[in-house]
Structure 1
């Protein structure tokens, strides 16, 4: 099953996707919170609610509907660096012994179809095709790999757009990963039961103005979804609506000769097999 978050009068609303249509879940059943994170935290059975809404709810066309970031206000957005073998190699590093974790803030997110912002202070603006994991139920401390995937609600596309010179100003990458409107997220979530465990075996690509820049498979991840969740559970409690962004394969702009930086007027697409196509135009940062 697929879900999305769209905007109604400026407010995000959770909807189930059926073909080319979306159906608002809260309209179909007032007991279902209108926000994805709130619905997950409330323990709502979103697949059952989605089936009921598909049968009886009011439809509108997905195409042309203004979307919001898939989870507009995640409690945590935890990202992995260097999580594909070829990307670690192109960055001059060996396989990490432990994931290079960093955090994103909700204020950095941008919806499918909305412009990613080229910052005023930098022209070194890069793309990163990534798989996002949305947590559906709380992950207790010390959850094992064997149990980890049972807490995943679904998967989506993410573009971890990065301001490389700021990223390199500090040993921790956070500052270069949190510029406003640089975290593309959407357009839909595909529930975990629709995919292989851990979303393995999926082709993942980025395309800049139609040209393939990254082309890999989620099997190439160093740390799997299950292992990543288990490692995080050694440290913290993952909560419903938290997001894990699983790293990017080789082919990023900074590793090319000469480097390829995104500029105003470009379009960047992230395409993950059976998950979706995330597209963002690039524009100069608004005044």
Structure 2
């Protein structure tokens, strides 16, 4: 099943997408958020859609928001693709590299991205985003992770490399600038994804392809990441995990200019849709 949220910032309507139409979910849920997943809103939405009780809503000319409301937390994995580690001169880690991203960075998939003031190294990263659908703490093994995944979405982990790597040694401030996590356009439920380790990811800057990878190259797969995180923190319904990026970021290309105002980034993941953002100066 596919979910989206449509409408102005702060007034998005939760919808189910089916056969090219959008169906209003407000009769069964106020929003697509942690409470929705915790109450098995996916099953309720499927039942209501099958029963024909959900009214259709117009989509033409309507803003597409992030497919979930602001998460409780965004947890990110760094250096998780072998080709990305190679291009940055890093060694693949023995355990996942974990950092946090401010949840308020989440914006819609077609919203503008702000280049921070004083930024010279704003970079792009297409990533597979995982939405948690049930509480996960101290999972016994990676095999248990699949049961707590609500679904998947395209995630853009925008990064400011100087803030991240050159100013104080903490990654979070280079990842948490305003608008730095466009998400969507839709959430595809986990049961619709046959193998999250067999998805192609692509990104273009001003029409030039910069990233073209596959989740098969992850050093740590989705299930391993969720199991691993559950040993250190409680994952709650509605939380988001950004699972890393393949090769092709500006930081890894000698002489490659970083993003500037007016640049356009487009990105997609197999089966999860395509997003597009314009860079503007904050």
TM-score between the two structures when normalised by the length of structure 2: 0.94
Match of 1:172 in 2: 170
Match of 1:52 in 2: 48
Match of 2:108 in 1: 111
SS in 2 for 1:102: strand
- Identify the match of residue 40 of structure 1 among 37, 41, 61: 37
SS in 2 for 1:226: helix
- Identify the match of residue 190 of structure 2 among 179, 189, 192: 192
Tell me by how many angstroms 1:9 deviates.
Answer: 7.8
Tell me by how many angstroms 1:140 deviates.
Answer: 2.7
Say whether residues 1:210 and 2:196 are aligned partners: no
Tell me by how many angstroms 1:25 deviates.
Answer: 0.6
Separation in 2 of the partners of 1:238 and 1:165?
Answer: 30
Tell me by how many angstroms 1:98 deviates.
Answer: 1.0
Match of 1:266 in 2: 263
CA contact (8 A) 1:207 1:269 kept: yes
Separation in 2 of the partners of 1:9 and 1:96?
Answer: 39
Match of 1:183 in 2: 181
Spell out, residue by residue over 1:57-83, the C-alpha distance to the aligned partner (whole angstroms, 9 max, x if none): 222243422122222321110001100
CA contact (8 A) 1:3 1:15 kept: yes
Give RMSD over aligned pairs: 1.7
Spell out, residue by residue over 1:72-112, the C-alpha distance to the aligned partner (whole angstroms, 9 max, x if none): 32111000110000101111111111111110112212211
Unaligned runs of 5+ in 1: none
Deviates more, 1:14-23 or 1:181-190: 14-23
Say whether residues 1:20 and 2:17 are aligned partners: no
SS in 2 for 1:212: strand
Spell out, residue by residue over 1:225-281, the C-alpha distance to the aligned partner (whole angstroms, 9 max, x if none): 110011111112111001100000010012112122111111111110111112111
Deviates more, 1:184-193 or 1:166-175: 166-175
Structure 1 residues 97, 193: CA separation in 2 closer, same or farther (over 3 Å shift)?
A: same
Tell me by how many angstroms 1:51 deviates.
Answer: 4.7
- Identify the match of residue 140 of structure 1 among 126, 129, 137: 137
Match of 1:91 in 2: 88
Match of 1:122 in 2: 119
CA contact (8 A) 2:139 2:145 kept: no
CA contact (8 A) 2:87 2:253 kept: no
Unaligned runs of 5+ in 2: none
TM-score between the two structures when normalised by the length of structure 1: 0.92
